[in-house]
Amino acid sequence: MPEFSTNQWAVIGLVLILGWLLGLLMRSGAGKWRRAFEQERALRIAADKERAAHATRLTELEGERERRIELERERESHIARTTAANARIAELERDQPAFSGATAGSVAAAAAGRRDDLALIHGVGRSGESRLNDLGVYSYGDIIELSPADEAALEGRLGAEPGAIADGKWREQAELLKHGKTEEHARLFS
């Protein structure tokens, strides 16, 4: 081992003490930096969670926007169809008087008791009553007694969709009206 002078030993001792002091100083600051790192990491995790929540919400809002656009298209289509139907109705009303001879005859026959007021059946109306009378259906009993084949044939002649009479519960309505249960009919079918 080499021999050192006293000055060299003193320098080595001072270097060791300074290194030890420097280590102590750095170690005390290490906790502060570690805490700052942990805080930054926690903030980053929270920001990532918030970003994911915002991305999810954005996806939901985009889906809702698409649904609203589709509903708006359907609404515009419905408005266009309604406008066209109203125009057609106005055209037909201009071309045809409000009360035709058949309608007046049906009202008069109903007043005389020979025919029932089929227009009270929801889904028939005055024009439907006139068409039913033209096809030989005059009373509630005529509707009640329809066989399934007669019902299908009547729907075809009326231009109604198959099953419209059953879906509209015409038989049940006719049964109530035949027995004078107009309040119950109004409560159930209005």
Query: Residues 141-169: pLDDT tens digits?
Result: 888 888 888 888 888 888 888 888 888 88
pLDDT, mean over the chain: 84
Number of other CB atoms surrounding residue 116 within 10 Å: 22
Cβ within 8 Å of residue 173, ≥6 positions away = 120, 121, 122, 185, 189
Residue environment code for 137-158, b if the CB has 16+ CB neighbours within 10 A, otherwise e: bbbbebbeebeeeebeebbeeb
Q: How confident is the model at residue 34 (pLDDT cuts 50, 70, 90)?
A: confident
Q: What is the CB-side half-sphere exposure of residue 39 using CA atoms within 13 A?
A: 6
Q: How confident is the model at residue 122 (pLDDT cuts 50, 70, 90)?
A: confident
pTM of the model: 0.42
CA-to-CA dists, residue 102 to 77, 99, 107, 109, 170, angstroms: 36, 8, 9, 10, 22
Cα–Cα nearest to 165, from 123, 135, 116? 123
Residue whose tokens read 């002091």: 21
- Looking at residue 127, its amino acid is S
What is the rounded average pLDDT of the residues 9-34?
Answer: 83
**Helix (H/G/I), strand (E/B), else coil: 145:** coil
What is the rounded average pLDDT of the residues 95-118?
Answer: 60
Q: How confident is the model at residue 65 (pLDDT cuts 50, 70, 90)?
A: very high
DSSP code of residue 115: S
